[in-house]
Amino acid sequence: MKIAFHTLGCKVNQYESEAMAALFRQRGHLVVDEHDFADVYVINTCTVTAEADRKSRQYIRRMKKVNPDSIVAVTGCYAQTRPEEVSAVAGVDIVTGTNEKSSLPRIVEEFAERGQQHVLRVHPLEQLTSYEDTGIVTSAENRTRAYVKIQEGCNRFCSYCVIPYARGEVRSRPMEDIIAEARKLIRGGYKEIVLTGINTALYGTEPGFGRGADGLCAGTGRAAAAEPSGIEPVIAALDDLDGDFRIRLSSLEPAVVNADYVKRLLPYRRLCHHLHLSAQSGSDAVLRAMNRPYDREQYLEIVRTLRREDPGYGISTDMIAGFPGEKEEDVEDSLDLIGQCGFCRTHVFRYSRRPMTAAAEMKDQIPSQVKGERSRRLQEAGEQAAEDFFLRCAGQTRRVLWETYSPEDGLLSGYTDSYIRVWTKAAPEEGESRLNTFEDVRLAEPFRDGMMAESSSP
Ligand code: SF4
C-alpha cells in the first residue's frame, strides 16, 4: 500500500512519524509524500493548544477528500486525550494512542484485510509504563542535523499543560539504543545530534530505571548530586564517541534542573553552548499558579551561571501570554526577565485553555484581545533582546556548521553552537563544498535573523 503521513506539533511527533514510516517500509509498503494520492493517510496529531486540535481535525477531513476510498488513521496526542471526539470526525477509520506507534502498521493491514470497521486502540495512561521500542530511526531535518528521542512522558503537571495526559509517566529509552542510533547517524554523516523527548531533563529518573530520581533538584535550589544523573550520563556517553559531530539538547526544564546542574554540563566538549529553557513567565506569582517549582531568581541564576562561563552562551525560551489571573505587573516582570536574560529566541504562546488541566478551571481567564496585546509586547521584547544579544556577540569567534547554500544570492548559512544563525558570502562551487562542515568564524554584525560572519579559517 501507499502510505502518506501528515505530522503536526513538535520534534518528538516528527521523530515518531519517521519511526512509523520506517516500520511500514519494513513490511513492504511504500511511503509517499503527504500531498500524493495514497491508500492510507496517517495523521499524527498534536493537542498542545485548541488551535492544534482544530488543525488536526482539518487535516483529517482534508485527507479523506483527496482519496475517499483511503484508510485514515489518526494517532498522537489529540487521539490519546480525546479518542471519542477524534473518532466522531467524519472519515476517521482508525484511532490509536501515543503508545501504539510500533503496532500501527499491523493495525492498518488488519483493517484493510477485514474491511470497513472502525478501530479504536487507545491505552489508558496507567498502562503506559515502559518506553515503546520503535527501533533505530533516522529522523533528520536536513543533511546535517538529526534527532534522537531519549525519553517519553512527563510527571510535572504544570497547571496549563495537557502533555502528561497525552504522554503519561516518564519512560526512558535504554542507553544502548540511544548510542546505537547516534552511532548510525554519525556514520551516516550527520554532524549535529539533537537529543529530544517530552521532558529530556527527566531522563532516567523513573523508579526502576537504575539511576533513580537522585540529583535533580526540581527547582529547590539545592546542590545537585555529584554523580552523573538525569540526562548527564547520556551526554557523557555521546561525548566519548568517535567522529566529527556535536550534541545539542532540544530543551532542559528549569522545573527540573538548577544552576548547579547546568554548570556540570559545561565541560562536555561536544555539547553546544545553547539551552532552550522554558521560562513561561517572569512573575513569581504566575509561576506559582502554573505549578512551576522555581522562581525568577532561580531562573536568572541558571542564566548568570551559563553566561559567567561563556558570555556568548545562547539561551532561548518560551513565554505564555495571558495565563489566568495574570496582571499588568506580571507582564512587566516577564518583559523585564526577557531583557535581563538576553534570549537569542523567544517563542510566545497565547495561553490556551486545555481540558483536564488545573488552569482551565481557574477564575480570571484573560480575554482573547488582552492575550493578543500581551503576546505582541512579549514578542517585541524578545526580538529586541535577540538583537541586543547578537550585538554583544559581535567580534566573538564561534564554530558554525554550514547547512544551506543559495546560489541566487551567493549566501551560505548555518548555526553556531550558541544557536545564532550565521551568513557568509561564498561563490557557488565553494559554497556547496563547505556544506556540512564545521568552521570557526568571527561574528561581524546583525544580518537578517542572525549575524553576518567573516571567515577566520584559512
Ligand atoms: S514540564 Fe510542565 S510544561 Fe513541560 S511537558 Fe511537563 S507538564 Fe508540560
State if residue 199 touches ligand 1 by the CB under 6 angstroms criterion: yes
d(CA 260, CA 341) in angstroms, rounded, equals 18
> Which atom from ligand 1 is nearest to the alpha carbon of 154?
6
d(CA 18, CA 5) in angstroms, rounded, equals 9
> Which atom from ligand 1 is nearest to the alpha carbon of 292?
2
Among 48, 158, 352, residue to substitute to test ligand 1 (most atoms within 8 Å of Cβ) = 158
Segment 282-306 mean pLDDT: 97
User: Which 3 state secondary structure label does DSSP give 384?
Assistant: helix
If we measure between CA atoms, which residue out of 305, 313, 310 comes closest to residue 258? 305
Exposed, middle or buried by CB within 10 Å (0-12, 13-18, 19+), for 20? Answer: buried
CATH 2.40.50 fits 397-455, yes or no: yes
Between helices 104-114 and 11-26, what is the axis angle to 10°?
Answer: 50
Task: Identify the weakest region by mean pLDDT among 173-187, 347-361, 442-456.
Answer: 442-456
pLDDT > 60? residue 223: no
d(CA 240, CA 257) in angstroms, rounded, equals 23
CA of 6 from ligand 1 middle (Å) equals 24
d(CA 262, CA 274) in angstroms, rounded, equals 11
- Which cell numbers in the block locate residue 211? 539511576
CA of 358 from ligand 1 middle (Å) equals 13
pLDDT at 213: 43
State if residue 253 touches ligand 1 by the CB under 6 angstroms criterion: yes
> Which atom from ligand 1 is nearest to the alpha carbon of 256?
1
> Which atom from ligand 1 is nearest to the alpha carbon of 280?
3
State if residue 393 touches ligand 1 by the CB under 6 angstroms criterion: no
Q: What's the pLDDT tens digit per position in 320-358?
A: 999 999 999 999 999 999 999 999 999 999 999 999 999
- DSSP string covering 290-341: TT-S--HHHHHHHHHHHHHH-TT-EEEEEEEES-TT--HHHHHHHHHHHHHH
Question: Beta strands 421-425 and 411-416: pairing type?
Answer: antiparallel
pLDDT at 222: 40
If we measure between CA atoms, which residue out of 286, 198, 227, 164 comes closest to residue 16? 198
CATH topology for the 2-123 domain? Rossmann fold (3.40.50)
pLDDT at 210: 65
pLDDT > 60? residue 215: no
> Contact, 263 vs 284, CB < 8 A?
no
Exposed, middle or buried by CB within 10 Å (0-12, 13-18, 19+), for 395? Answer: exposed
pLDDT at 455: 57
pLDDT > 50? residue 56: yes
CB-side exposure of 103: number of CA atoms within 13 Å? 16
Q: What's the pLDDT tens digit per position in 401-431?
A: 999 999 999 999 999 999 999 999 999 889 9
Which residue has its alpha carbon closest to ligand 1 atom 1? 156
Whole-model pTM: value is 0.92
pLDDT bucket at 456, cuts 50 / 70 / 90: very low
pLDDT at 130: 86
Question: Beta strands 71-76 and 40-45: pairing type?
Answer: parallel
State if residue 163 touches ligand 1 by the CB under 6 angstroms criterion: yes
pLDDT at 138: 83
pLDDT > 60? residue 457: no
d(CA 190, CA 147) in angstroms, rounded, equals 10
CA of 359 from ligand 1 middle (Å) equals 13
Task: Identify the weakest region by mean pLDDT among 58-62, 126-130, 278-282.
Answer: 126-130
Q: Fold match between 2-123 and 397-455?
A: no
pLDDT > 80? residue 217: no
- Per-domain residue ranges for the chain? 2-123, 139-393, 397-455
- Which cell numbers in the block locate residue 416? 553556531
> Contact, 198 vs 152, CB < 8 A?
yes
**139-393: which CATH number, 3.90.1150.10, 3.30.1490.100, 3.80.30.20, 3.40.50.720?**
3.80.30.20
d(CA 264, CA 215) in angstroms, rounded, equals 12
Specify the DSSP element, H or E, that contains 425.
Answer: strand 421-425
d(CA 230, CA 235) in angstroms, rounded, equals 10
- Which cell numbers in the block locate residue 320? 505564555
State if residue 104 touches ligand 1 by the CB under 6 angstroms criterion: no
DSSP state of 360: G
> Contact, 3 vs 21, CB < 8 A?
yes
Work out the percent of the chain whose per-residue pLDDT is above 70.
95
pLDDT at 287: 98
- Amino acid identity, residue 343? F
CA of 163 from ligand 1 middle (Å) equals 6
- Which cell numbers in the block locate residue 189? 554523516
Between helices 296-309 and 328-341, what is the axis angle to 10°?
Answer: 10
d(CA 416, CA 39) in angstroms, rounded, equals 42
Work out the percent of the chain whose per-residue pLDDT is above 90.
83
